[in-house]
Structure 1
Amino acid sequence: MSMLSLERVTKKYRVGAFGGRELTAVRDATFTVKPGEVVSLIGESGSGKTTIGRMVLRLASVSGGNIMFDGTDVSRLKGRRLAGYYKRVQGVFQDPFSTYNPIFKADRVLHTIRPTFFPDVNAAEWRKRIDTALESVRLDPRQVLDKYPHQLSGGQLQRMLIARALLLDIKLLVADEIISMLDASTRIDVLNLLADLKARGLGILFITHDLSLGHYISDRAVILRSGTVVEMGSTDKVFGNPRHPYTRTLLSSVPQMHRKWTRADIARTIDGRCAIHDGGDCASDSELVAVDDDHLVGCAAQK
């Protein structure tokens, strides 16, 4: 059973002078995230990945469609029901440093949730919960508590944010480019942590532009192009047998260290042929067609 379900979700913005034009950032996005599953949203910058994450987290409104969480329409939640949603769904973002106020100690991000979500928990029990949450993300409370952000590494700060989410006993984590600003050794620590959380039954929406990370961590992959889902399914099938020209372009554009990269390599990947209609003209990318079990592909519009 799906925990999170997006049903033809669309996001439009008013742009230009006096909002005279309309920009569609996300168009008819439809996919699910199950408990204990990592779903990667993959695409280049501007493809709509972060916009989808923000809509799931209620940081941006939905222009059309529905976002369902455990059978409830997220877009209609208010007041206590919205607070209850945030107790089960949290996000961690790209730049851990921007989340912290440098004039306050880093563990303030943990304590700010106490008045809203745990007003009746006494000091001793609260400290015990904090220690447990930090230890679950492989942080030693003695080394990170009572420290200022500049005294901790990016990896430590990022894991502290994940610990904050775990304090709420969440069921879904939206991880938006959470390791793109970390060094290689710290990336492995955070990826292994996400794998541990998945094993405990946590659903993870992993937003990335890095194909290798999406391949490494995810059970299912959703490929976005200009706000539209063009291919999705099990990671092995999407990466092992890409059917949409855009997916092929993304995979073929990864530089190979053993040879020189040329413009001809790029030209060969962007042939525009549709895998669904044997190269014929197609009307829209928004309608996905099943090409295999758990492998859906959108038509490649000929323009």
Structure 2
Amino acid sequence: MSSLLQAKNVTKSFGGGIFSKEEELIAVNDISLNLEVENPKIIAVAGESGSGKTTLARLLLGLINPNKGSVEYLGKNLKDMKGKEKRDFRREVQPIFQDPYGSYNPFYKVDHVLYSPIKNFKLASKGEEARKMVEKALELVGLVPSETLGRLPHQLSGGQRQRVMVARALLLQPRIILADEPVSAVDASLRATILDSVKKLNKDLGISVIYVTHDLTTAYQISDEIMILYKGVLKEAGPVEVVIKNPKHPYTQLLIDSIPQANPKLKWGKLDISETQELLDQPGLGWRDS
């Protein structure tokens, strides 16, 4: 199968230059990831804060370049893209970030963030056509256009603002959505609604999704495959059912044991990182099918 978006053994480090007093920090160390054209899927990239998952997301979006390895879209290295190729990539690979409020101008109605990409990418020739596109995108994420348009950002709930950003991404007819902690700033009661919207985009529209998260529960709920990162290293990867239900690496087990359980008699979070550092630093297991 042909690759849609592929990271090939990417490494990204910060600091540690000849004139730098800072010690080199390897944020992403020899990571590979592949989304196929013919097989749209949801891949979760999971790990705690500092694991390198957001740096990997920035590499995949072409916001930063790797020190080693490459990121390719339809076989073309991102750092070599220019003109139309780069513009097409920006349209077809859409990010959804953690804090939706930061994407809004508080003095503009939410309509502004929806109509701007239509204008910038010349997706509609008439105002009526643009309006229909906006209304359809809002309906796809479970929002009622008449109750959403014309509002200021603060007049919408956090969940509504985030779903507007998903609708904005949809307007560009993307092939990939990269969602970086899209529900961490949203009330728990609204997370399922947003995640259901993302999953529906994959199943109904064939959009591939890279879901960056620290939350294994939501990763398990919506993902087909999962990658577990720790200190920039891939510790374990494979089908989500295999990795979560039968973890092999101590770090994956630590994350699972740290999930609170409904039964107060059950002990959770029983692994102490300080006492198990040697186990956590064991080499990654790579891809697992069983």
Matches within 5 A, 1:2-81: 2-14=3-15, 19-21=20-22, 22-34=24-36, 35-81=39-85
Alpha-carbon distance between aligned partners in 2 of 1:98 and 1:243, rounded to the nearest angstrom: 38
Structure 2 counterpart SS, 1:192: helix
2:251 is aligned with 1:246: yes
Alpha-carbon distance between aligned partners in 2 of 1:73 and 1:262, rounded to the nearest angstrom: 44
Alpha-carbon distance between aligned partners in 2 of 1:204 and 1:251, rounded to the nearest angstrom: 23
Contact 1:33/1:205 (8 A) holds in 2: no
Q: TM-score, normalized by length of structure 1?
A: 0.86
Matches within 5 A, 1:177-216: 177-199=181-203, 200-216=205-221
Alpha-carbon distance between aligned partners in 2 of 1:43 and 1:78, rounded to the nearest angstrom: 33
2:264 to 235, 250, 258: 258
Task: Tell me the CA shift for residue 18 of structure 1.
Answer: 5.7
1:285 to 283, 286, 289: 283
Contact 2:46/2:227 (8 A) holds in 1: yes
1:217 is aligned to 222
The 1:125–1:270 alpha-carbon spacing in structure 2 relative to 1, beyond 3 Å, is same
Q: Deviations over 1:105-162 (max 9, x none)?
A: 1121112213321166211111111111111111111111111000111111111111
Instruction: Give the unaligned 5+ runs of structure 2.
Output: none
Count of residue pairs brought into register by the alignment: 283
Alpha-carbon distance between aligned partners in 1 of 2:286 and 2:222, rounded to the nearest angstrom: 25
Contact 1:10/1:26 (8 A) holds in 2: yes
Matches within 5 A, 1:165-180: 165-180=169-184
State the one-letter code of the partner of 1:125: E
2:124 is aligned with 1:123: no
Alpha-carbon distance between aligned partners in 2 of 1:62 and 1:16, rounded to the nearest angstrom: 15
Contact 2:137/2:167 (8 A) holds in 1: yes
Alpha-carbon distance between aligned partners in 2 of 1:173 and 1:229, rounded to the nearest angstrom: 21
2:138 is aligned to 134
Instruction: Give the unaligned 5+ runs of structure 1.
Output: 275-281, 296-303
Contact 2:237/2:286 (8 A) holds in 1: no
Contact 2:118/2:172 (8 A) holds in 1: no
Structure 1 counterpart SS, 2:271: helix
Matches within 5 A, 1:257-276: 257-259=263-265, 261=267, 265-267=270-272, 270=276, 272=278
Structure 2 counterpart SS, 1:19: coil
Task: Tell me the CA shift for residue 254 of structure 1.
Answer: 2.1
Q: Deviations over 1:24-54 (max 9, x none)?
A: 1101111223442110001000101111111
Alpha-carbon distance between aligned partners in 2 of 1:139 and 1:17, rounded to the nearest angstrom: 53
Task: Tell me the CA shift for residue 289 of structure 1.
Answer: 5.0
Task: Tell me the CA shift for residue 186 of structure 1.
Answer: 1.2
1:91 is aligned to 95
After superposition, the CA RMSD in angstroms is: 2.5
The 1:42–1:119 alpha-carbon spacing in structure 2 relative to 1, beyond 3 Å, is closer
The 1:88–1:262 alpha-carbon spacing in structure 2 relative to 1, beyond 3 Å, is closer
Q: Deviations over 1:260-298 (max 9, x none)?
A: 6488x3259938559xxxxxxx9x736x456x5x35xxx
Contact 1:62/1:75 (8 A) holds in 2: no
Q: TM-score, normalized by length of structure 2?
A: 0.89
Alpha-carbon distance between aligned partners in 2 of 1:201 and 1:175, rounded to the nearest angstrom: 16
Alpha-carbon distance between aligned partners in 1 of 2:212 and 2:28, rounded to the nearest angstrom: 15
